[in-house]
Chains A and B, each alone.
Chain A
Amino acid sequence: MAKGNIEELTCPLCGFAARNAKGLKKHMQLDHNMYQDKLHLPPEKPDRPITKLEENIMSGWSGKILRVDLSNKSSSIEQTAPYLPFVGGRGINVKIMFDEVGPEVAPFDPENRIIFGPGVLTGTPAPTASRMKITTMCTNGSLGSGGVGEGLGAEIRFAGYDNIIIQGKADKPVYVFVNDDKVEFRDATSIWGNETMESRQLVKKEIGDPGVQVASIGPAGENLVSFASIKTGVFTTAGRGGMGAIMGSKNLKALAVRGSQGIKIADIDGFLKVAWELRKKLSEFKDFQAPIEYLERRVREMNVRATKEGVPGWGNWEDFDWDKIDAPNFVYGVHDYYREHQIARIGCFACPISRYRVCDDPEAGIGMALCNSLPMFVWRVWNRDFAVVEAACQFCASYGLDTISTANIISFLMELYHRGIITEKDTDGVPMKRGDKDAILTTIHKIGRQEGYGKLFRDGLVAGAKKIGRGAEGYAMHVKGMEIGLRELRGRKATALATAVSPRLSEGEYPLQEQNWNVHKEHPEAMDPTSYEQKGDAHLYSMKKYIALDMIGLCRNIFLRAFEAAGEGLLYPSKLLSLATGKNYNLDNLFAAAEKVHLLERAFEVQRGVRRENDTLPKRMFETSVPGGPFKGQRLNKAKFDKMVSDYYAVCGWDEDGVPKQETFKKLGLVAEGKLFSKRIKKGVIHA
């Protein structure tokens, strides 16, 4: 410090001579009210102290992966950097699952993992950046990635993690609370047995912070019902594949997360500019212009899709008199229901489009019905009353049941009753009449609470059908032991292919609409939904788009609906990803990464014993025809269907039996994984 400099010690305004620098400063403050004089101010306060997060790189990614071991109640931190070829989200999840979970592991073993993987952009201001993938080995032994929205994914990013891996098994019920760097294992015996939403409230209350995000399971998950779901928010659920049961098998009641760290963005100005552009584009997009009308339109759209486009399957895909059912006006009462019971609207995190309707249902309380559940409880169970849809969805959500599997089981029971295979006696005195309100809601309660005939279906539809016997097995509509979703599979051939080869039968992973198959501009015959041509190509192309968006963390629904018609589904996501990470991402390298993930997902299945003979559909799809609608009379031709599957295998680089070839691994730069795969295959196969 320069001391004794006379110039400095004289006040420049009044000539006051100060004894020292401190005195001058005091004089300036008191007499001249001057605080800004930089000369005499204490040194600038240091900027934000450098945290650990900033040390280990990177913008876009958080750089850390949290591993939680429930067996010995410990946690450790790993680097994200080695996983970067798989970008993030679903990509990293699948890579970890493939590396760590071999074919010898059974779904309910402690060695099975549940990985929570928000995308790279999740938690940034990019529109719809809320998506997260929960990956685990499902109860039927396949590798499933369930997509959820709302706040949990973003909160994991704010806690400073790219992914959270959960492994092991607790000796008694616990819930895990991740609070930035702290990981707590808390006793959950008092919460155990509660429904999903109540557990969520109890966890929040115990932690004492309303901002905590919670993923919880309900009684179904605790009882290891093979299609139990994980509820990760007020309205989002990872439904398919029984992930809730996997959580239940680990004695993990809930995962609670709270974070206070930020996500670095490489080019913040560019990022905000593109995000705003995108937002403006979305607001101009005609489908989203009247969001208030969203659900009514969706139901109307569904009626149209049911009758004109032939999307949903009716009942248990059985034969019925199409003309008698008044298909174009099948659901009634939507407007009246909402006018009477709607109390609020809630959206996903960072999403400009979603506005879910919260209803105060007289029977089921406050809650809401969502996209895929809605058609499941209409056409599949012959129900025309919208109030029943809402109640059914809410009951499923609170027990933690997958709506799709549950509705499939109800529809199966209804067919058995209709055919006289079962009577009221088999179902505790409830007649399983088509579309009957009691039949629908009682079955949900019975399965959720595991009482009476609900116990039959603890291990899923196939096991239940076996227990009933009397030839009921023939009416169980499943692929690889998992209940099929809402689609009519006999009309659109690409949908049939997707269902047959999909590991998790995810509702969101059906091929894009035919008009959006840009890959096929040179193959006009592929645009015909009922032709078997080029469908393998189309499905792989759709899968790559889905996986790419899952890795980035943006919403498939919005991007593939708004921009895919122009072939631009990935244009904005890749732009935003490049700006956030400072690396160059485009369609090509995103597709390459997605293809890797797609290959590993298949390899995981194959090493557990899935082969060509498992990639098929129930007999009914080949033997009976669609009774009405645009695809009237359509059915699947076995020989042509087999050729379509072969086509798909060939496009993906798998052999005739559906086993990925070594050269495919090499081509995609996965040499080590290829070696591991062949070693596991040689060791022998445990049938899923």
Chain B
Amino acid sequence: MYASTISVALVGGEAVPVQVEAHVGRAKENFRLSGLPDTALREAKDRVRVAINSSGIEFPHRDVTINLGPADLPKRGSDYDLPIAISILAADRQIRLPPKVVAVGELALDGKVRAGASSLGAAVLSARLEVPCLVASENAAEVARVPGSMVFAVDSLSHAVSILRQQMEFDPVLADTSKSIDPDVADIADVKGQLVARRALEIAAAGGHHLLFFGPPGGGKTMLARRLPGLLPRLDDRAAIEVALIRASAGIHGVVSNLPPFRAPHHSATRAALVGGGSGHPTPGEISLAHHGVLFLDELAEFPRAHLDALRQPLEEGRVLISRQGVSADFPSRFQLVGASNPCPCGYFGDRRKPCSCADGVRSRYRRRVSGPMLDRFDLSVWVNRVEVADFREDVGESTSLISNRVSGARTIQLDRHCLNRDLNGAQLDQVAMKTVDSAAIVANLEKGAITARGAVRVRRVARTIADLNGEAVDEVHISEALMLRGAW
């Protein structure tokens, strides 16, 4: 006798349906599991048997075969426990299943259902296939935010069985939007002084420009970078769920948040941790976890050069293909890069009060650690010096909500036109921003050799964003400002 339920595997930040098929035959008692399970999944046999028995139901004393299809997709984790148990009971004719049902959850030995990373994937599948889904009540309300999903919360296996026996005549869980609020957004008004850096941050938020902070320790480079997500427009539900799904495929449970993600990997992170990898199962790296958000690389020059150069292609394409034996996954990675670096190994070159203990040669070698093509990605680069005591007494600057209003205004203008200004190419720029030869300031800088032709393109992109913040056409004023927000490195 045969029955099947649908469970979910997360591949490349996508929810892929997995058929959990059970067959209960007349041969002597046996329990087999096939379909490329990993160790955690192979152990599901023991958990499911005990959980069924301790729920007051009898595990069939017969020949039980479970297959997880498609059989060639490697599967892992403990979230298949609940669908396996349900399929067995249905195949044993102890319960009747609706034609299609999605279920995920890990079973405790006493039959309780624990929330796992795939709950969100189950809700996504439920919406896509238009079928009900059963997930642990722990995070049911949260995943019910997936539009079109039909989510039933279950506490335990026996609870799931009773829902199924009553043909699901319950109301599905309502979406809990209370958790969609921004968890504490750090306000930019907390940053004292640093007018230039704050202005650069506003422009970066408006045009999506990659941004580099440069300066001695204690200037607040990290503090500034952490305030960028708050300035960016909130993610819509679709994007927020996409982000949460990528997180789930990295095994991170967490709330679905409309705040753009902020990822700050340490410079000792491996290349796989940065761009993605993993043995056997493709796992998203930091660049994908920062999808729709901000990737902050503190101490940029301390990152191995090869790791940084590996970021260049994903930066260009907005996605990264991770291939492993049997599976290859295409993770989205459209992120905004913020870098920060000290000017030299001791950190104090250029500081007004502290001496720098580095020799001249050491300093230039330190800067060369970041490749030219990598530095080329940063449209904005500004110097952040340490704050003087006087700045702490100063009036509070503009708040995050004020600036983010201007930012979203500028973004609307850009999206109506083409795309974010960060992605404008030369030909598009010629249409929407001043031509290189028309700007006296750019020509003067080109003649002095202060900027390159590519630098001129970046200046015009930034000038376009500055003009968008004011709702104006690009003018010499905007070009001049853009020229001052570059070249700190």
A and B interact:
no
Interface residues of A (CB under 8 A from B): none
